[in-house]
């Protein structure tokens, strides 16, 4: 039995469906933290809600039987302190554990090192991360960071992880460009560094452009308000904040209408957005000092540095679009994803 422990997030529902469509679902048990919202109610799926994460003793008692019966445990992210504490005090289970690295869970201490709680929590994290059986990521740089920072013993498994990182051959009507649409970031999280992007785009504010800014993900209302105020102040009516959650197909259509996208995160994030945009022939800027940049360059994708180059409204040439699309289709297909998970399950 393979146990999956995960938060109920925007990826996990589609992942469960992916497992059912491509593997024997009876061999998988899903222990979900949160509620059942967005998850299919199906008697063929072994799906349970994790116990309350408030009291550790209760959590430990109720979660232990799942780990006992599992042959392998896939940890989708490492964000819940109680799971870290549980594994620290039950280290025998670590030889079963494979950690799907999200990004924020890997770089947690880097951005919280000044907090007393984080210093205490990191003591437990170090021991747990070091002794995981496997680490799962599609960014080699993240594995190398884990190896350097936590001296990990576990094996590295390259995997696209979720369908959101897979590119499909989408067919959209060709847009007649009346203006250049520039996407700024992918969420309302401060890690997007929107304000820094806005300042760099001041030089082109008088051009025929529109600034599309997805802000439907994230819970920092104060930061969202600040982003909107700054965006409208600099770009006026050319600034378009996306405040409502869009269904997947509608969001894809939005991406298809983008000409240039800028991701100014200082760690790996927004990979699904980036892969889709590159595959659709869009020009993508991102920082050149993060693992995402290195991974994309390793397979010769044409991307642009935001922090170490000038911004230009010039779009990709036709041959660059074709080459990027070929590389994306070759490396980010659903068949690749199935093959990668098969290798992890069989390890």
* pTM: predicted TM-score of the whole model, two decimal places: 0.84
Contact 261, 279 (CB under 8 A): no
Within its chain, how far is the Cα of 227 from the centroid?
22
Q: Is residue 173 part of a domain?
A: no
pLDDT band at 22 (very low <50, low <70, confident <90, very high): very high
pLDDT at 309: 83
Same domain, 133 and 24: yes
Cβ burial of 140 (10 Å; 0-12, 13-18, 19+) is: middle
* CATH label of the domain that carries residue 317: 3.40.50.2000
Same domain, 319 and 339: no
pLDDT band at 57 (very low <50, low <70, confident <90, very high): confident
Same domain, 79 and 132: yes
Q: Is residue 172 part of a domain?
A: no
Same domain, 143 and 192: no
Rounded percentage of the chain residues whose pLDDT exceeds 90: 65
Domains: count for the chain: 2
Report the distance separating Cα 30 and Cα 128, nearest Å.
21
pLDDT band at 43 (very low <50, low <70, confident <90, very high): confident
Same domain, 322 and 339: no
Report the distance separating Cα 218 and Cα 227, nearest Å.
13
- Domain extent for 228: 180-331
pLDDT at 265: 87
Q: How many CB atoms lie within 10 A of CB 160?
A: 25
Dump pLDDT digits (tens) for 256-291: 999 999 999 887 777 888 999 999 999 999 999 988
- Higher per-residue confidence, 159 vs 53: 159
Question: Is residue 96 predicted with pLDDT exceeding 80?
Answer: yes
- What average pLDDT score do residues 283-307 get? 92
Contact 227, 241 (CB under 8 A): yes
Question: Is residue 125 predicted with pLDDT exceeding 70?
Answer: yes
Structure tokens at 184: 């700024």
* CA proximity to 137, closest of 118, 108, 161: 161
pLDDT band at 164 (very low <50, low <70, confident <90, very high): confident
pLDDT band at 98 (very low <50, low <70, confident <90, very high): very high
């Amino acid at each position: 039995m393979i146990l999956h422990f995960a938060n109920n997030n925007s990826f996990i529902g589609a992942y469960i469906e992916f497992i059912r469509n491509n593997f024997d679902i009876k061999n998988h048990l899903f222990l979900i933290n949160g509620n059942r919202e967005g998850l299919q109610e199906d008697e063929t799926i072994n799906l349970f809600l994790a116990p309350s994460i408030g009291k550790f003793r209760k959590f430990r008692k109720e979660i232990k039987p799942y780990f006992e019966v599992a042959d392998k445990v896939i940890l989708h992210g490492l964000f819940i302190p109680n799971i870290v504490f549980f594994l620290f005090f039950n280290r025998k289970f670590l030889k079963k554990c494979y950690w799907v690295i999200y990004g924020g869970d890997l770089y947690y201490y880097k951005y919280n090192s000044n907090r007393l709680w984080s210093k205490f929590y990191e003591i437990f994290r170090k021991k747990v991360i070091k002794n995981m059986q496997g680490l799962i990521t599609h960014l080699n740089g993240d594995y190398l960071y884990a190896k350097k920072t936590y001296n990990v013993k576990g094996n590295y498994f390259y995997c696209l992880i979720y369908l959101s990182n897979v590119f499909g051959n989408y067919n959209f009507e060709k847009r007649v460009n009346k203006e250049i649409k520039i996407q700024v970031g992918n969420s309302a999280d401060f890690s997007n560094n929107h304000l820094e992007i806005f300042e760099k785009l001041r030089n082109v504010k008088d051009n025929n452009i529109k600034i599309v800014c997805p802000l439907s993900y994230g819970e920092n209302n104060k930061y969202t308000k600040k982003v909107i105020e700054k965006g409208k102040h600099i770009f006026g009516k050319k600034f378009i904040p996306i405040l409502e959650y869009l269904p997947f197909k509608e969001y894809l259509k939005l991406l298809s209408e983008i000409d240039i996208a800028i991701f100014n995160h200082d760690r790996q994030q927004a990979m699904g957005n980036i892969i889709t945009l590159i595959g659709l022939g869009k020009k993508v800027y991102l920082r050149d000092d993060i693992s995402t940049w290195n991974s994309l360059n390793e397979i010769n994708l044409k991307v642009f540095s935001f922090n170490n180059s000038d911004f230009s409204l010039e779009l990709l040439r036709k041959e660059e679009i074709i080459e990027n699309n070929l590389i994306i289709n070759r490396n980010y297909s659903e068949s690749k994803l199935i093959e990668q998970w098969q290798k992890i399950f069989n390890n």
